Amino acid sequence: MGIDRRGGRVVPGVTGLVVVVAVLAAATAFGLWRRARDGRVTEARVDDLLGPDELGAALGERATLVQFSTAFCQPCRAARATLRHVAADTDGVVHVEIDAEHHLDLVRRLNILRTPTTLVLDGSGRIVRRATGAPRLADVRAALPV
Protein backbone atom coordinates (compact mmCIF):
# COMPACT_ATOMS: atom_id res chain seq x y z
CA MET A 1 0.00 0.00 0.00
CA GLY A 2 1.13 3.51 -0.67
CA ILE A 3 0.48 6.83 0.99
CA ASP A 4 -1.25 9.61 -0.87
CA ARG A 5 0.87 12.74 -0.36
CA ARG A 6 -2.14 15.05 -0.51
CA GLY A 7 -4.00 13.80 2.51
CA GLY A 8 -1.84 11.14 4.10
CA ARG A 9 -4.40 8.49 3.16
CA VAL A 10 -3.40 4.95 2.33
CA VAL A 11 -3.96 4.23 -1.37
CA PRO A 12 -4.19 0.50 -2.12
CA GLY A 13 -2.25 -0.91 -5.07
CA VAL A 14 0.21 1.93 -5.68
CA THR A 15 3.21 0.03 -4.30
CA GLY A 16 2.21 -3.09 -6.24
CA LEU A 17 1.94 -1.05 -9.42
CA VAL A 18 5.40 0.45 -8.87
CA VAL A 19 6.88 -3.03 -8.33
CA VAL A 20 5.22 -4.39 -11.49
CA VAL A 21 6.48 -1.46 -13.58
CA ALA A 22 10.02 -1.88 -12.18
CA VAL A 23 10.04 -5.61 -12.90
CA LEU A 24 8.75 -5.08 -16.43
CA ALA A 25 11.40 -2.42 -17.08
CA ALA A 26 14.19 -4.69 -15.79
CA ALA A 27 12.92 -7.67 -17.83
CA THR A 28 12.71 -5.53 -20.98
CA ALA A 29 16.24 -4.22 -20.49
CA PHE A 30 17.57 -7.75 -19.99
CA GLY A 31 15.71 -9.00 -23.07
CA LEU A 32 17.10 -6.23 -25.25
CA TRP A 33 20.63 -6.82 -23.93
CA ARG A 34 20.39 -10.56 -24.59
CA ARG A 35 18.93 -10.07 -28.07
CA ALA A 36 21.83 -7.76 -28.97
CA ARG A 37 24.42 -10.32 -27.82
CA ASP A 38 22.70 -13.50 -29.03
CA GLY A 39 24.40 -15.10 -32.02
CA ARG A 40 27.22 -12.57 -32.17
CA VAL A 41 30.55 -14.08 -33.16
CA THR A 42 33.38 -12.95 -30.90
CA GLU A 43 37.09 -13.64 -30.46
CA ALA A 44 37.67 -16.86 -28.56
CA ARG A 45 39.40 -16.58 -25.20
CA VAL A 46 40.23 -20.27 -25.06
CA ASP A 47 43.65 -21.17 -26.40
CA ASP A 48 42.72 -24.81 -26.71
CA LEU A 49 43.12 -27.37 -29.48
CA LEU A 50 40.37 -29.81 -30.40
CA GLY A 51 41.19 -32.87 -32.42
CA PRO A 52 39.28 -35.54 -34.31
CA ASP A 53 39.20 -37.82 -31.24
CA GLU A 54 37.32 -35.22 -29.16
CA LEU A 55 35.05 -34.13 -31.99
CA GLY A 56 34.28 -37.55 -33.38
CA ALA A 57 34.99 -36.27 -36.91
CA ALA A 58 37.89 -35.10 -39.04
CA LEU A 59 38.86 -31.45 -39.00
CA GLY A 60 38.22 -29.29 -42.05
CA GLU A 61 41.28 -28.11 -43.97
CA ARG A 62 40.28 -24.47 -43.64
CA ALA A 63 37.90 -24.50 -40.66
CA THR A 64 35.65 -26.63 -38.51
CA LEU A 65 32.35 -25.28 -37.20
CA VAL A 66 31.66 -27.05 -33.90
CA GLN A 67 28.10 -26.69 -32.65
CA PHE A 68 27.15 -27.67 -29.09
CA SER A 69 23.43 -28.37 -28.91
CA THR A 70 20.80 -30.25 -26.91
CA ALA A 71 17.79 -32.32 -27.97
CA PHE A 72 15.05 -29.79 -27.17
CA CYS A 73 16.90 -26.60 -28.09
CA GLN A 74 14.83 -24.64 -30.64
CA PRO A 75 17.59 -22.14 -31.62
CA CYS A 76 19.91 -25.14 -32.21
CA ARG A 77 17.86 -26.02 -35.30
CA ALA A 78 18.44 -22.59 -36.84
CA ALA A 79 22.14 -22.74 -35.96
CA ARG A 80 22.41 -26.22 -37.50
CA ALA A 81 20.84 -25.04 -40.77
CA THR A 82 23.14 -22.00 -40.97
CA LEU A 83 26.31 -23.94 -40.18
CA ARG A 84 25.45 -26.78 -42.59
CA HIS A 85 24.81 -24.22 -45.31
CA VAL A 86 28.21 -22.57 -44.78
CA ALA A 87 29.99 -25.94 -44.69
CA ALA A 88 28.28 -27.10 -47.88
CA ASP A 89 29.06 -23.87 -49.75
CA THR A 90 32.66 -23.35 -48.58
CA ASP A 91 35.59 -25.55 -49.57
CA GLY A 92 37.58 -26.95 -46.66
CA VAL A 93 34.91 -26.20 -44.03
CA VAL A 94 33.27 -28.95 -41.97
CA HIS A 95 30.30 -28.76 -39.57
CA VAL A 96 30.35 -30.98 -36.48
CA GLU A 97 27.45 -31.09 -34.03
CA ILE A 98 28.09 -32.26 -30.46
CA ASP A 99 25.33 -33.22 -28.04
CA ALA A 100 26.24 -31.20 -24.94
CA GLU A 101 24.38 -33.57 -22.61
CA HIS A 102 26.56 -36.52 -23.64
CA HIS A 103 29.90 -34.65 -23.58
CA LEU A 104 29.80 -32.88 -20.23
CA ASP A 105 33.58 -33.11 -19.74
CA LEU A 106 34.15 -31.17 -22.97
CA VAL A 107 31.35 -28.72 -22.11
CA ARG A 108 32.98 -27.96 -18.76
CA ARG A 109 36.47 -27.69 -20.23
CA LEU A 110 35.34 -25.21 -22.89
CA ASN A 111 33.00 -23.28 -20.57
CA ILE A 112 29.89 -23.91 -22.68
CA LEU A 113 27.11 -22.25 -20.66
CA ARG A 114 24.16 -22.51 -23.06
CA THR A 115 23.11 -24.01 -26.34
CA PRO A 116 23.62 -23.45 -29.13
CA THR A 117 27.24 -22.46 -28.78
CA THR A 118 29.39 -22.51 -31.90
CA LEU A 119 33.17 -22.69 -31.95
CA VAL A 120 35.11 -21.86 -35.10
CA LEU A 121 38.33 -23.86 -35.33
CA ASP A 122 41.15 -23.17 -37.75
CA GLY A 123 42.69 -25.98 -39.83
CA SER A 124 44.87 -27.12 -36.93
CA GLY A 125 41.95 -27.33 -34.47
CA ARG A 126 42.68 -24.11 -32.55
CA ILE A 127 39.56 -22.25 -31.38
CA VAL A 128 39.58 -18.83 -33.05
CA ARG A 129 35.98 -17.60 -32.71
CA ARG A 130 32.94 -18.32 -30.56
CA ALA A 131 29.21 -17.56 -30.81
CA THR A 132 26.51 -18.13 -28.21
CA GLY A 133 23.03 -18.41 -29.66
CA ALA A 134 22.10 -18.96 -33.29
CA PRO A 135 24.72 -17.15 -35.39
CA ARG A 136 23.83 -15.17 -38.49
CA LEU A 137 25.01 -16.46 -41.87
CA ALA A 138 27.10 -13.38 -42.69
CA ASP A 139 28.78 -13.49 -39.26
CA VAL A 140 29.75 -17.14 -39.69
CA ARG A 141 31.23 -16.49 -43.12
CA ALA A 142 33.17 -13.49 -41.80
CA ALA A 143 34.51 -15.56 -38.88
CA LEU A 144 36.11 -18.19 -41.12
CA PRO A 145 39.93 -18.16 -41.21
CA VAL A 146 41.40 -16.96 -44.50
Q: Please give the pLDDT value at position 47.
A: 64
Task: Locate the domains of the chain by residue range.
Answer: 2-37, 41-143
Give the containing element (helix H, strand E) for 28: helix 14-37
In the chain, the amino acid numbered 78 is A
Class of domain 41-143 (CATH, top level): alpha beta
Torsion angle defined by CA atoms of residues 102, 107, 113 and 115, in that order, rounded to the nearest 10 degrees: -50
Task: Look up the pTM and report it.
Answer: 0.72
Q: Is 129 exposed, middle or buried (0-12, 13-18, 19+ CB in 10 A)?
A: buried
Neighbours of 97 (CB within 10 A): 20
Burial of 23 (0-12, 13-18, 19+ CB in 10 A): exposed
Model confidence over 38-97: pLDDT tens digits?
666 666 655 678 999 999 999 999 999 999 999 999 999 999 999 999 999 999 999 999
